[in-house]
A and B are shown apart, each in its own frame.
Chain A
Amino acid sequence: MTVTTSSANKHQPAEPASGPLLEVKDLCVDYGFGDEAVHAVLDASLTLRHGEVFGLAGESGSGKSTLAYAISRLLRMPGVITGGEVTFRTPAGTVNLLNAGEAQLRDLRWTQLAVVVQSAMNALNPVMTIGTQLTDVLEAHRPGLNRTARRERAAGLLEMVGIAADRLGSYPHELSGGMRQRVMIAMALALEPQLMIMDEPTTALDVVTQREILEELTDLRERLGFAVLFITHDLSLLVEIADTIAVMYAGRLVESAPARELYSSPRHPYSYGLLHSFPGLHGPRERMTGIAGSPPDLRDLPSGCVFHPRCQYVMDRCRSSVPPLITPEADRRAGADRLVACWLHEPGALTPAELGRSES
């Protein structure tokens, strides 16, 4: 087993007797309806445990954001959920998010499940001070608090993310991009939710600010113990901060594995290619080949395995049938929690060496 040295992995994901925090089974999401429907997500399944950092990696059109917003029922029209189940475990009981009514969702949202949207720094209302925006959240969900208590709590939230409390009276344009992102995170944590869904939270920020915010996020996670569904295209970042990574391509989940294991021994040709598309900071400077071709148009998906036109190991079977998500033989024997959707890992198939490595 590899020794996980990244500070993010110190906090091991807990699994209380009641089970995982979020379970998604065969979720299907379309944009539009009938003949014109675009299948943005097809049969996605994942399991998120309490306190876990789950990374969802993919490029544009992979469906990662769609999946996250569908889970929380925040998808905009013309998005429609056309199948699957989403089960969310709250202290009060288990909720089927797809069946939940408006009142139930409102109860859950922000108290149990918070979302930090993409480019959240621009999600702050420019004509209200950040103090007002923070206390608004508290006012909506904690009617018991009076005004002073709300202000105190808002100040406490700001300090928690590393902003001086005297900035409560600032307007968003007076803060830098990094600080605004921190305010969004503080707002999301205002009611101490169990699950934070973060959609590309640091993509628009420069590298140093990104690193600072991620460090603070890790600290907060250790203190408050919430789980994070972290969506990004930057796989190299996820390897550093996530516990588990799921890779999506053209609406399908193609691989899911613990972060370190995905990095050292990817099973799916797409994951393999993707990991070899990030130039490294060390080692000899050699030519890398990446992945041929480009992500497909979702309105015109290839038959069979969606990745087959770009795959260097393509077989006839790949063109005609969609591979299911399975645990490869070797991983099952080793007890590793890995899933991959590829015919190369079918029992009896000839797996190329670079995709069949096992952890020593």
Chain B
Amino acid sequence: MPHKQPHKHMFQLPKSAKIRIGLVLALLFTLLAVIGPWLAPYNPNVSLSTTNPLPQPPSSHHWLGTTQVQQDVLSQLLVGGRSTILVSLIAGVIATFLAVGFGVAAGYYGGWLDDLLSMLANIFLVLPALPLLIVIFGFLSKSANPNDVLIGVVISITGWAFGARVLRAQTLSMRNRDYVTSARIIGERSWRIMAFEILPNLVPIVATSFLFTVIYGVGAYTALSFLGVISVAHWSWGTMLYWAQSAQAAQQVHIEWWWFLPPGLAVGLFGTSLALLNFGIDEFINPRLRAAGLSRRTARLAGLPRRVPLGLTPVAKSPAVSTSGQR
């Protein structure tokens, strides 16, 4: 290739369908987190009828039906959505901060600091996350009402180590780049080099790490709520699953699909949207993924195969725009 394709601007409209879907979904969920509880038609805690013993299937009054104590499932979903999304975002942000701080410092300084921080990261990687969280929350639940921020902070403790390792590796490879050497030659201080020379180049990786950690946060929070470790008075998608499961276990009531499918789907879709966003970041980092293969239409017009094996360079049937003088 005569020239590397430049990233002309930081933000280009993504071309691929899957990234657009991911973006739309992520925006929807963000919206949900902000205004969800206001949209909820009913209070999720309130039993709307004390006389009817049977859970109602989805209807025009209750779009997602009711639980066996006549609570509106849709309201639970909307209210629980804010908590789930908020907790996972907080966990993601804090864990990413920790990962950046530990990872870049370890990679840049090397030596004993690197050994120490790497050991710390390895310890946290090896510790089984869920049991640890159960223990911590076991202590906490006794005291106050858990709030989303606290839960997010605690989950982030188990989520930073992987990102730290990745960032350390990237920093190690960047430390020897010429522009870092040049910055040192000019006399820049170490913290400025880490913050302004190395970190801006790591933004795509930090973004990916953040998205992964949020997905991890959703999973951890949902699991903890489902297990009942976190106070079940606090609505979240995991809590909905907890109630669904305990209803079946304790009261021997047949479990209805509209109790576990909505929260399960919500968690799945939220994770999927983040994963699709990750694809977008991958394509941004590696422009070659953008241009792989000709688009179907142009290939058909030229009479060329869509994907070409190496060693069989296609010969177009239509001639190129040629400005040659003839011999």
Partners in one complex: yes
Q: B-contacting residues of A (Cβ < 8 Å)?
A: 26, 28, 30-34, 37-40, 42-43, 45, 60-61, 63, 66, 69-70, 73-83, 98-99, 102, 105, 109, 297-299, 321-326
Bound together, the chains give a CA A325 to CA B1 distance in angstroms of: 25
Contact in complex: B294, A40 (CB < 8 Å): no
CB distance from A72 to the nearest CB of B (A): 9
Bound together, the chains give a CA A310 to CA B313 distance in angstroms of: 33
Contact in complex: A74, B311 (CB < 8 Å): yes
Bound together, the chains give a CA A256 to CA B326 distance in angstroms of: 17
Residue of A nearest to B316 (CB): A82
CB distance from B165 to the nearest CB of A (A): 25
Q: If the complex has contacts A75-B313, A98-B315, are A40 and B327 also in contact, measured as CB distance less than 8 A?
A: no
B131 at the interface (CB under 8 A from A): no
Contact in complex: B319, A28 (CB < 8 Å): yes
Residue of B nearest to A33 (CB): B298
CB distance from B297 to the nearest CB of A (A): 10
CB distance from A200 to the nearest CB of B (A): 15
Q: A-contacting residues of B (Cβ < 8 Å)?
A: 1-3, 291-294, 298-299, 302, 304, 307-308, 310-316, 318-327
Contact in complex: A83, B313 (CB < 8 Å): no
* Chain A residues positioned under 8 Å from B2 (CB to CB): 31, 38, 40, 60-61, 63, 66, 298
Contact in complex: B322, A83 (CB < 8 Å): yes
Bound together, the chains give a CA A73 to CA B312 distance in angstroms of: 5
Contact in complex: A299, B302 (CB < 8 Å): no
CB distance from B317 to the nearest CB of A (A): 9
Contact in complex: A81, B314 (CB < 8 Å): yes
Residue of B nearest to A324 (CB): B325
The 3 closest A-B pairs by CB, nearest first: A82-B320, A324-B325, A43-B324
* Chain B residues positioned under 8 Å from A323 (CB to CB): 325
The residue that B3 contacts in the complex, of A34, A78, A80, A297, with Cβ under 8 A, is A297
Contact in complex: A81, B313 (CB < 8 Å): yes
* Chain B residues positioned under 8 Å from A70 (CB to CB): 313
* Chain A residues positioned under 8 Å from B323 (CB to CB): 42, 322
* Chain B residues positioned under 8 Å from A98 (CB to CB): 315
Contact in complex: B324, A322 (CB < 8 Å): yes
* Chain A residues positioned under 8 Å from B326 (CB to CB): 324
Could you give 10 example pairs across A and B, Cβ below 8 Å?
A31-B1, A31-B2, A38-B2, A39-B320, A42-B323, A77-B308, A79-B313, A80-B304, A82-B320, A105-B312
Contact in complex: A45, B322 (CB < 8 Å): no
Bound together, the chains give a CA A91 to CA B232 distance in angstroms of: 84
Bound together, the chains give a CA A83 to CA B316 distance in angstroms of: 7
Bound together, the chains give a CA A48 to CA B169 distance in angstroms of: 50
The residue that A26 contacts in the complex, of B298, B310, B324, with Cβ under 8 A, is B324
Contact in complex: B310, A80 (CB < 8 Å): no
* Chain B residues positioned under 8 Å from A324 (CB to CB): 324-327
User: Looking at chain B's contact residues, is the secondary structure mostly helix, strand, loop, or mixed?
Assistant: loop
Bound together, the chains give a CA A80 to CA B293 distance in angstroms of: 12
B302, B310, B320, B327 — which one has the most chain A CB atoms within 10 A of its CB? B320
CB distance from B296 to the nearest CB of A (A): 12
* Chain B residues positioned under 8 Å from A75 (CB to CB): 313
CB distance from A151 to the nearest CB of B (A): 28
Contact in complex: B319, A80 (CB < 8 Å): no
* Chain A residues positioned under 8 Å from B294 (CB to CB): 33, 77-78
* Chain B residues positioned under 8 Å from A297 (CB to CB): 3
CB distance from B288 to the nearest CB of A (A): 10
CB distance from B300 to the nearest CB of A (A): 11
CB distance from A227 to the nearest CB of B (A): 21
* Chain B residues positioned under 8 Å from A325 (CB to CB): 327
Bound together, the chains give a CA A78 to CA B294 distance in angstroms of: 7
CB distance from B202 to the nearest CB of A (A): 27
* Chain B residues positioned under 8 Å from A39 (CB to CB): 320-321
The residue that A80 contacts in the complex, of B307, B314, B321, with Cβ under 8 A, is B314
CB distance from A86 to the nearest CB of B (A): 10
The residue that B322 contacts in the complex, of A34, A43, A60, A299, with Cβ under 8 A, is A43
Contact in complex: A61, B3 (CB < 8 Å): yes
Bound together, the chains give a CA A321 to CA B326 distance in angstroms of: 12
* Chain A residues positioned under 8 Å from B324 (CB to CB): 26, 42-43, 322, 324
Contact in complex: B298, A34 (CB < 8 Å): yes
Bound together, the chains give a CA A33 to CA B315 distance in angstroms of: 12
* Chain B residues positioned under 8 Å from A83 (CB to CB): 316, 319-320, 322
Bound together, the chains give a CA A120 to CA B315 distance in angstroms of: 27
CB distance from A298 to the nearest CB of B (A): 5
Bound together, the chains give a CA A43 to CA B323 distance in angstroms of: 9
Contact in complex: A28, B313 (CB < 8 Å): no
Residue of B nearest to A32 (CB): B291
* Chain A residues positioned under 8 Å from B308 (CB to CB): 77
* Chain A residues positioned under 8 Å from B321 (CB to CB): 39
Bound together, the chains give a CA A42 to CA B324 distance in angstroms of: 8
Bound together, the chains give a CA A241 to CA B303 distance in angstroms of: 42
The residue that B292 contacts in the complex, of A63, A77, A99, with Cβ under 8 A, is A77
* Chain B residues positioned under 8 Å from A61 (CB to CB): 2-3
Q: If the complex has contacts A61-B2, A61-B3, A81-B316, are A321 and B310 also in contact, measured as CB distance less than 8 A?
A: no
Contact in complex: B322, A73 (CB < 8 Å): no
Residue of B nearest to A102 (CB): B312
Contact in complex: A322, B325 (CB < 8 Å): yes
Bound together, the chains give a CA A61 to CA B3 distance in angstroms of: 8
Bound together, the chains give a CA A297 to CA B166 distance in angstroms of: 37
Residue of A nearest to B299 (CB): A33
* Chain A residues positioned under 8 Å from B312 (CB to CB): 73, 102, 105
Bound together, the chains give a CA A83 to CA B320 distance in angstroms of: 7
Contact in complex: B313, A80 (CB < 8 Å): yes
